[in-house]
Amino acid sequence: MSKPIHVLYSVLNWGLGHATRSIPIIHELLANNCKVSLAGEGHSMVLLQKTFPELNSYPIKGINVNYPITQSMTFAMMKQMWAINRAIKSEQEQFKNLVHTLNPDVIFSDNRYGAFSKNVYSIFIGHQLWIQTPSILKWTEPIIFKLHKKKIRVFNECWVPDFMGDLNLSGELSHHPKAIESLQPVFIGPLSRLRLSEINKENVSTILVIVSGPEPQRSIFEEKCRKEAEKTGLKTLIVQGQPHLNNDITNKNIRIVSHLAEEDLSAAITNATYIVCRSGYSTIMDLATLKKNALCIPTPYQTEQEYLASSLAKKGIIVHQPQHDIDFNSAFNYLNHLKKFEVPNDGHLKKNIIRICELLRK
């Protein structure tokens, strides 16, 4: 048997989405006799360590972004651009030292722009190639793309977790003609750690609320959903998206847990009558995989989530409400009449992992 390919895998620590969608990639790498080392920090690293306790992990300090409460994410990112670029350079230096120590054969980076090496085959994973801006700043999108393109082009390949063509989930985020032409992305199909589960009528929550994303909006969203669930009186499960905690609290009709393992979360989504969640792309991919509709509430001022919610609502796949105007009863009436997600199993991820393994073993 040939020597295992050593993969250095790193994810961005902005919420849990980058970690959850990386889980199926890591599983596929391990299935192809790869040795995988993890690099990162924060809650995303905690989740990967819990999922893959047998893998070695290394701390990498990444980008620390201050999330706005009452301001566009685009404006906030512009204000912090100097600090972000400085953090990327620091991240790159850390990876340079880690690569020297571990001598990996390939680097996989989910949205970490500093996680690459000129001496190691490096693959960038991301769905937001063409960054959406508020309407007042639409004219800046080509300029932003030109800058963004430079950061991605240092990698040997760019992988997008979506389909090419009409069945795509991400819309212009990854299918804008200029992004396709300039970056020539490899589409590997939607990624989800979840799998269809059998219906268990003894373990049914009428409402499932999946909380995710960075603070302070994560806590604001959780509290608003808790109050709405109380109004309905329906049996509700709230998953806080905090794997570093061990909460399990029941009060009246609501049970709140800090986190659920893959199998339990798959069962909870399958068994729920109504699902309430953010419109983050990783959550959208989970819903598509399990063929479930949901009330999707974008994180305020995050243009990407607002775009995804609006785009998929127009396709009649989800219901979209803003956080300041959540109304469970109204949304649930609409949810009863939506068409289901249709996601074919194309095997693109497996094919591309095999391709990379064969390329590196030559």
**pLDDT tens digits, 258-297:** 999 888 999 999 999 999 999 999 999 999 999 999 999 9
What is the dihedral sign for C-alpha 84, 191, 161, 109? Answer: positive
Query: What whole-number distance in Å separates Cα of residue 95 and Cα of residue 154?
Result: 14
Please tell me the predicted confidence (pLDDT) of residue 200.
57
Q: Give the three-class secondary structure for 102.
A: helix
Task: Find out whether 125 and 159 touch, Cβ atoms under 8 Å.
Answer: yes
For residue 301, pLDDT over 80 is answered with: yes
Task: Find out whether 7 and 34 touch, Cβ atoms under 8 Å.
Answer: yes
Mean pLDDT of 229-235: 96
Please tell me the predicted confidence (pLDDT) of residue 305.
94
Give me the half-sphere count of Cα atoms (radius 13 Å) on the Cβ side of residue 83. Answer: 10
Query: Which of the 8 DSSP states describes residue 203?
Result: G
Residues facing residue 106 across a β-bridge: 7, 121
Helices (H), 11-59: 17-31, 42-51
For residue 314, pLDDT over 60 is answered with: yes
Please tell me the predicted confidence (pLDDT) of residue 97.
93
Mean pLDDT of 182-191: 95
Instruction: List % helix, strand, coil for the chain (3-state, nearest 5).
Output: 45, 15, 40
What is the per-residue pLDDT across 165-175, written as a single tens digit (0 to 9) for each? 887 999 999 99
Strands 254-257 and 248-251: antiparallel
Q: How many residues does the chain have?
A: 362
Residue 240 tokens read as 């806080």
Task: Find out whether 109 and 122 touch, Cβ atoms under 8 Å.
Answer: yes
Strands 236-239 and 254-257: parallel
Residue 169 tokens read as 């989930």
Q: Please check whether the domain covering 201-335 is classified as CATH 3.40.630.10.
A: no
Query: What whole-number distance in Å separates Cα of residue 43 and Cα of residue 218?
Result: 14
Q: CB neighbours of 36 closer than 8 A, spacing ≥ 6?
A: 7, 9, 26, 29, 30, 52, 55
For residue 309, pLDDT over 90 is answered with: yes
Q: Which of 173, 116, 158, 161 is nearest to 23 (CA)?
A: 161
What is the per-residue pLDDT across 14-34, written as a single tens digit (0 to 9) for each? 767 889 999 999 999 999 999
Structure pTM? 0.87
Query: Percent of the chain scored above 90 by pLDDT?
Result: 65
Mean pLDDT of the chain, nearest integer: 89
5-190+345-361 and 201-335 share one fold: yes
Residue 167 tokens read as 């069945």
What is the per-residue pLDDT across 52-102, written as a single tens digit (0 to 9) for each? 999 999 999 876 655 555 555 555 555 556 566 677 888 889 999 999 999
Strands 295-296 and 319-320: parallel
Query: Percent of the chain scored above 70 by pLDDT?
Result: 90
Please tell me the predicted confidence (pLDDT) of residue 86.
76
Please tell me the predicted confidence (pLDDT) of residue 83.
67
Please tell me the predicted confidence (pLDDT) of residue 96.
93
Please tell me the predicted confidence (pLDDT) of residue 80.
54
Residue 66 tokens read as 């201050």
Residue 359 tokens read as 């390329």
Give the residue extent of every domain in the chain: 5-190+345-361, 201-335
Residue 257 tokens read as 């847990």
For residue 362, pLDDT over 90 is answered with: no
- What CATH number belongs to 5-190+345-361? 3.40.50.2000
